[in-house]
Structure 1
Amino acid sequence: MINPINGSAPSATAQIPAAQPTRCGEYGNFTLSFDDTTVEGDNKGLMPVHGMTNPYHHLFYANGFTYMPDKWEPYPSISQPNVAMFLPIGTSLLPNTPFAGTLLPGEFGSGPRASVSAYWFNAYYGYFGCALNGITSCDFRISGFRWDNVTKQEVMAIEKHVTIPPCWGFLKCKLQLVTFDEPDFRGLSGIQFNAYTSVLGIPQVFFADDLSLGWWNQSCAAGILRIGHR
């Protein structure tokens, strides 16, 4: 195009601004399958219980979380070989891992980086099972938390209850799909899972696999920050 004032053509750089990347580094959806971890039994065929290593996929896990091959527990994994397990009394059974004590029981999330939006995430669905083999069902409680810049702490954004049936005699058990369709499960700094007997409310061991999540902040700066840190 000719400049009508001086009859000259503008330079190419003036006509077309330099392209800026919108996404780079680590971004998009991801799955916590716990399959990229290695767990081995000892020479007596016993399964040692290890705590989750913090951070795992940039997220931190409360005391009581562990992972193991499904041959050591009643629920076949959705993706082989491992599933996650939460022990309500895990603080006394498992060694402490960095920052695990800063999260609520059964919670995982941004942990010490909760105020940094690059580590906020969306929760979509996961597969869960309770360590119950009788007639009592399991009350599975899921709570989503967001960082509040005013109070400088995490606040509950949503709570959801799901009933998970028992697995009779621990035979032919199957992890149940639980979806998080509600919009309040987006932009979380943490998510908490806890299982209880439906009648007496006694805390129960639960299992989880293939948790579908996605990074909330998709900016290039956030993607670079994530790829540069554990």
Structure 2
Amino acid sequence: PTPCGENGKFTLTFDDVSTGSERDGLLPVSGVSNPYHHLFYANGFVYLPDKWQPYPAISQPNVAMFLPIGASLLPNTPFAGTMLKGEIGAGPRASVDAYWFNAHSGYFGCALSGISNCVLSISGYRYDASIGQEVVAAQQSVTIPACPLFINCHLTQVNFSDDFKTGLSGIQVNAVTEKLGIPQVFMMDDLQLEWWNSSCAAGILRIGHR
């Protein structure tokens, strides 16, 4: 924080939240509670200690995970159901550009243990006041390797194109198998963003709200 509140670049690490307790061998998965660092997360986003999944965290101890199927089994959090599948963004505050951001990069991995690669379909959205909803502002497709037998897995850094640095109200990531297009669970860590509106008023608004 500065005298003008929260401004500049920031990284979503999911390490400043506590996970569920480990008991009876159950996976200590916790759903992302909205809002987290001023942003909202679609149903299906969870975080867990990296030792409970095959990809070591970039920053310890937690890794985020998106579950494309079975999200309804997780406890619902405010406005999660209003987000697009796999979306992170301003959510109900999409019309307020103090919560818009530039997206720089992130680390990703897919829950694929075979030889088929994983394709990430990444879309950036910007709120359009003339129609009162978000519209696509950026798109990028990235192929990342699977992790055969889940041995020596490593998250892959993905750098977003310049179109993702023009003020977004949301970013959406979905993962599928390369050839068959079957939805896949994906892991994510250290999502590097930057507040688009760097004015003092916007920074003070952010620091005064979750």
Query: TM-score when scaled to structure 1?
Result: 0.88
Which residue identity is paired with 2:197?
A: N
Of 174, 178, 188, 1:198 maps to: 178
Say whether the 8 Å CA contact 1:49–1:94 is kept in structure 2: no
Distance apart, 1:23 and its partner CA: 6.8
Give the % identical residues: 67
Amino acid of the structure 2 residue aligned with 1:222: A
Deviates more, 1:43-52 or 1:70-79: 43-52
- Does structure 1 residue 144 correspond to structure 2 residue 86? no
Cα shift at 1:42: 3.3
Write the letter of the residue equivalent to 1:84: A
1:218 aligned counterpart, secondary structure: coil
- Measured in 2, the distance between the counterparts of 1:169 and 1:95 equals 31
Question: Which one of the candidate residues 104, 107, 114 is aligned to 1:124?
Answer: 104
TM-score (norm: length of structure 2): 0.96
Deviation at 1:46, TM superposition (A): 1.7
Alignment coverage as a number of residue pairs? 209
Cα deviation, residue 40, structure 1: 3.4
> Root-mean-square deviation (CA), in Å?
1.3
State the match for 1:187 in structure 2: 167
Distance in 2 between residues matched to 1:229 and 1:73, nearest whole Å: 33
Once the two structures are superposed, residues 91-141 of structure 1 have per-residue CA deviations (whole angstroms, 9 ceiling, x without a partner) of: 222111100011000001000000000000000000000000101100111
Per-residue deviation, 1:206? 0.0
Q: CA deviation at 1:186?
A: 2.6
Structure number with the higher strand fraction is: 2
- Which shifted more, 89-98 or 194-203? 89-98
Q: Which runs of 5+ in 1 are unaligned?
A: 1-21
After TM superposition, what 4+ stretches of structure 1 lie above 4 angstroms from structure 2? none
User: Of residues 75, 82, 96 in structure 2, which corresponds to 1:95?
Assistant: 75
Partner letter of residue 115 of structure 2?
Answer: I
Contact 1:158–1:185 at 8 Å: present in 2 too? no
Q: Name the SS of the counterpart of 2:174 in structure 1.
A: strand
